[in-house]
Chains A and B, each alone.
Chain A
Amino acid sequence: MTMIGDRQQLAYIASQAADARVNVELETEGMTLNIGPQHPATHGTLRIIARLDGEQVLWAEPSCGYMHRGYEKLTEVRTFPQVTALVNRIDWLGSFANEVPFILAAEQLMEIEAPPRAQWIRTILFELSRIANVSLFLGDLGVQLGAITPVFFAFRDREYVLNLIEGATGGRFHPNFDRIGGLKDDLPAGWIDETRAVMKKMRKFCDEIENLLFGNEIFESRTRGIGVIPRDVALQYGMSGANLRASGVDWDLRRDQSLPMAWDKVDWKVWTHNDGDSYARCWVRLQETRESTLIVERLLDTLPSGPVMTKVPRIIKVPEGEAWVSTENPLGEMGYYVVSKGDLGPFRVKIRSASFNNISIVPWLLKGVYVPDIITILASLYFILGDIDR
């Protein structure tokens, strides 16, 4: 052990103190940035609290609930047929798709099944709402990255799909068309031919977006390798839909479970991507939109004839029991756990919406990224605020 004189020790202490003073002076404070609830990029009222060091995110946390509307509670004071009008406002861009799992759950409890034609039309409308939903994502993606033109193309071409939905159901956004035991109406005259024409247009729109965005070097440099979700992490966080398929998990509820729907009656392909980055998520959605147009066309080719409604009692009372039905909605897995006590309305409904689980990965995913990447990552995760907060 070396001997240190008093003077040396004092000098050492003084130098340490000087160092400490310099460190305190040079220490830069972090900054807490509230992205939202009012912010142009969150297209709704999501708030992300981000702790920044310069432009780098130290930690980030989504704070949701600003738009909580209490749907689970509201369903308890409504009758079964009334619930569809409520739940198609959850994911407001693909509203018909929200009605289907609830109706299927109710039908399962009542042990009835919609006639084949109704199943086909349900599937067609389900895929149309997926196209309407995801085409808006494809346009919005450009806006989030700073390219403002794609969104106008998206709004232009999405209008055709909305016209189809309106033509069949009478409602552009909130059709409320699904009934327990079938559908409200059959398809109007001329609808099938128009749908075929629109599906061609939508494929052209997908090509346009692919040329405009996906082939762009800046787009690739902004999305490739950004926000990578490995396969096991995606599974741990309970992600679903295109986000999961982009991480290399070949899982699609349309194919993997048997429901009284028409998906298993035609051939189609489940698209997956192994990269798990933002680019992969966007790419999978683009391919799925194309695939959906093909599904619709093939379903139209094999559309059976017959009634669209089975015999159901005039006053619907669902027998006592519990049922869980989930489907592959535009945003991911959406399911309803319906508990009935034999009344006019459900006793309790648990809604499992895709976006809530999909954004739960945000704190893990945003750690260490730059501020501009927050926006691309959130855009590529693709959530609808109504679907998060319900």
Chain B
Amino acid sequence: MYALLSSIPYWGQTLLRLLGGAVAVLLPAGTIVYLFLFKMMSFMQSRLGPMEAGPYGSMQLFAEVGKWLQKEDLLPERADSFVFKIAPLIVLSSTFLLVAVVPFGPDAWFTNFEAGVFYALAVSSVSVLGILMAGWSSANKYSLLGGLRAAGQLIAYELPMILAVVGVVIQAGSMNLQNIVVAQNAGSIFGWDGLGNPYLLTQFVGFIIFMIAVQAELTQTPFDMPIAESELVSGYMTEYSGFRFLMFFIGEFATAGVFAFIASVLFLGGWGVPFSWFGWAGINDVDNWMNIGGPLIMLTKMLGLVFIIMWVRFSYPRFREDQLQRFAWKVLIPVSLVNIMATSVLKVAF
């Protein structure tokens, strides 16, 4: 397989990896997150949710996609048509690029390189560009307000997210996501290796900050000021219809899934259950069947995290823009800086 891969040129490999990520991870993840979310939301709100399309509404996503594909691809008269048209693609490409570095098993990854954490954080902020472009080019005041709010918010919450991850990187001693998984599963807590050492336990401050920042990056409810359907109609998405709206819409759920994947890699031990349970000492001892089992374990952890993200989304009202910025700069960033300091001191001490 590796021989086959190395026989095609580099750009071809890259394309294959991204396509593989999109087909093998994003589509199932988006679908599952979407269905899980719809049913969960409905039960929380004492209703049944989709019931008509397929058994218990399990085909609802296909019905929705079919509906959106039939709609006219509207373009506002005074919109900047080129920018308007590619904006959703850029938002979606951020998600596509993000999934490429997530490891799903000892060998089940699309790409595995040393600066994985750095890359993930970098491409996750590409979506800001797309949102700003969508808001600016729509020639709509609500879109403009939404786009500017989104840009301010995403940039503000990028920082605590990065700072929260720094603690994990210090503790693992690596920026490679695969190595972070190994460090968690092969590690031990004060010599007891029953659980491995998921960084959720040692980096719980970082985990909480990371999840809050993810919530803001996804513009989910306490931080959904950019969309704010009760004031800005739909924010930067107001003028979109048809399959371009679908891209934003599916992108939202797929990105929620991908961020949950990354959070489970960084804090919950990724694809592994503690290696020592199975008598494995390191990644080279891990059996091959973990390439099948790993993705399932990841999926479970991802659904757990998505549940938390959506739970918060459905029960909280939203912040105001200035309160949201104040929260990022005055609370999250100082706390995460203290967290980094404490982590590095403890790292040196032990």
Contacts and interface: CB of A to CB of B under 8 A. Distances in A.
Interface stretch (A142-150, A267-275, A322-330): A142-150
B230 to A, nearest CB: 4
Interface residues of B, number: 25
A212 interface: yes
Q: What does DSSP make chain A's interface, helix, strand, loop or mixed?
A: helix
B321 A372 contact: yes
A51 to B, nearest CB: 12
Given A146-B221, A156-B46, A212-B315, A33 B320 contact: no
B67 interface: no
B44 interface: yes
A217 B252 CA distance: 26
Contacts of A222: 317-320, 323
Nearest to B313: A148
Most chain B beta-carbon neighbours within 10 Å: one of A219, A371, A375: A371
Interface residues of A, number: 31
A148 B314 CA distance: 6
Interface in A346-378: 370-375
A142 B318 CA distance: 9
Interface string B16-32: 00000000000000000
B230 A147 contact: no
B112 to A, nearest CB: 40
Contacts of B319: 218, 221-222
A152 interface: yes
Given A146-B317, A218-B222, A372 B228 contact: yes
Contacts of A40: 229-230, 233
Interface in A211-229: 212-213, 216, 218-219, 221-222
A218 B233 contact: no
B314 A149 contact: yes
Interface string B299-322: 000000000000000111111111
A44 to B, nearest CB: 14
A218 B322 contact: no
Contacts of B141: 31, 33
Q: Which 8 A-B pairs have the closest CB atoms?
A: A146-B318, A145-B317, A152-B45, A147-B317, A41-B230, A375-B231, A372-B320, A144-B230
20 contacts: A31-B141, A33-B141, A39-B233, A40-B230, A40-B233, A41-B231, A144-B230, A146-B228, A146-B230, A146-B316, A146-B317, A147-B314, A147-B315, A147-B316, A148-B45, A149-B315, A218-B319, A219-B317, A372-B228, A374-B231
Given A55-B145, A147-B221, A372-B321, 11 more contacts: A40-B229, A146-B317, A147-B316, A152-B45, A218-B316, A221-B320, A221-B323, A222-B320, A371-B145, A372-B225, A373-B320
